[in-house]
Amino acid sequence: MLDILRGRRILVTRARAQASHLAGELERLGAAPVLIPAIEIAPPLSFVLLDRAITSLDRFDWLVFTSANAVHAFAQRSRDLGRSPHPARIAAIGPATAVALAAEGIEPRLSPLLLPPVSVAESLAATLLPAVSVLLRANRPPCLAFIRAVSARDVLPESLTAAGATVEIIPAYRTLLPPGSVAALQSSFADATVAPEAATFTSSSTVTNLLALLHAASIALPPSLLRISIGPITSSTLRELAMPPHAEAVEPNIPSLIEALAQAFLQRASTLDSI
């Protein structure tokens, strides 16, 4: 099935530092990745909240990491401060975030790493609620620190606050529009015969930021461009912006995203053959 990707031009919208894995896998399959990042990871405007969290970890019953970027930003700032963090308990949004935690050597002291069955905020909230309830029954409102981007969905902290937990939002990084991507988009879509045939979206930020870049470039995505989403939240953002995905990864990881990409090309080929 993956053979159908050979020679296909695929727009990769991930941040530059994260695009290499996806691009490498596509190249291995014979595809031609077009790397135009829609987001750039930058430090928060202020480190006050992050520094306070790192230097007083004992205040928190749980550290909740909502992305691998949050893990790496937290770990780098800890190193800058000369700290080796060992939180009491850690929850992560999904496997990629868990891998980042392991790579950074960040492990919980009191209980195993908590992962939800589905890598979305709603599932993580449901997974955390029983742990929060245990602490509440001990007449001690649990305190949770959410290590995340400056701008992020509030479903998770709101759910736990409503359950009686004390929640602190700790911005660890920002997502920005990358310089140079506007010109790269204009160049890539100038000639329809060599323009990307599909685009991969790995977060809601890649969707909204790509639209902002397209607006700045005064171009629109061709209707024929296949849109491939890494998961339900990203797909929801695409639908909200009138760009429904042609395929969605079964699991939020690179192999599953590539399988969804191949499936979309197969579906298109099947549709064309039946005409």
Query: What tens digit of pLDDT does each residue of 192-240 get?
Result: 888 999 999 988 888 988 999 998 889 888 888 999 999 888 999 999 9
Which pLDDT band holds residue 179 (cuts at 50, 70, 90)? confident
| Distance spanning both ends of the chain, measured CA to CA | 22
Q: If residue 175 lies in a helix (H) or strand (E), which one and from where to where? A: strand 166-176
- pLDDT reported for residue 21: 83
Q: Which residues fall within 8 angstroms of residue 86, CB to CB, at 6 or more apart?
A: 57, 106, 107, 108, 109
Task: With beta carbons less than 8 A apart as the criterion, state whether 124 and 156 touch.
Answer: yes
The pLDDT of residue 158 is above 90: no
The angle subtended at Cα 237 by Cα 29 and Cα 262, nearest 5°, is: 20
- What is the dihedral angle through the alpha carbons of 155, 156, 161, 167, rounded to the nearest 10 degrees? -130
Amino acid letter, 62: W
Three-class DSSP category at 63: strand
Domains of the chain: 2-39+177-273 (3.40.50.10090), 42-175 (3.40.50.10090)
Task: With beta carbons less than 8 A apart as the criterion, state whether 9 and 194 touch.
Answer: yes
Number of other residues whose CB lies within 10 A of the CB of residue 169? 14
Strands 40-42 and 166-176, by their bridges, are antiparallel
Structure-model confidence comparison of residues 88 and 155, the more confident one: 88
SS (H, E, C) 85-116: CCCCCEEECCHHHHHHHHHHCCCCCCCCCECC
% the chain with pLDDT above 70: 95
Task: With beta carbons less than 8 A apart as the criterion, state whether 172 and 148 touch.
Answer: yes
Q: In what order do the strands lie in the sheet with 143-149?
A: 40-42, 166-176, 143-149, 62-65, 90-92
Main-chain phi, psi angles of 196, to 5 degrees: -55, 145
Number of other residues whose CB lies within 10 A of the CB of residue 105? 10
- pLDDT reported for residue 153: 67
- Looking at residue 177, what DSSP letter applies? P
Query: What tens digit of pLDDT does each residue of 67-77 get?
Result: 889 999 999 99
Q: Residue 36's Cα: distance from chain center in Å?
A: 16
Nearest Cα to Cα of residue 54 among 14, 81, 21, 91: 81
Query: What tens digit of pLDDT does each residue of 65-123 get?
Result: 988 899 999 999 999 999 988 899 999 988 889 999 999 999 999 888 999 888 777 88
Q: What is the spatial distance between Cα 257 and Cα 250, in angstroms, rounded to a whole number?
A: 8
Nearest Cα to Cα of residue 181 among 150, 149, 219, 236: 219
- pLDDT reported for residue 274: 57
Which pLDDT band holds residue 183 (cuts at 50, 70, 90)? very high
- pLDDT reported for residue 13: 87
The pLDDT of residue 47 is above 90: yes
Strands (E), the chain: 9-12, 32-35, 40-42, 62-65, 90-92, 143-149, 166-176, 198-201, 226-229, 247-248
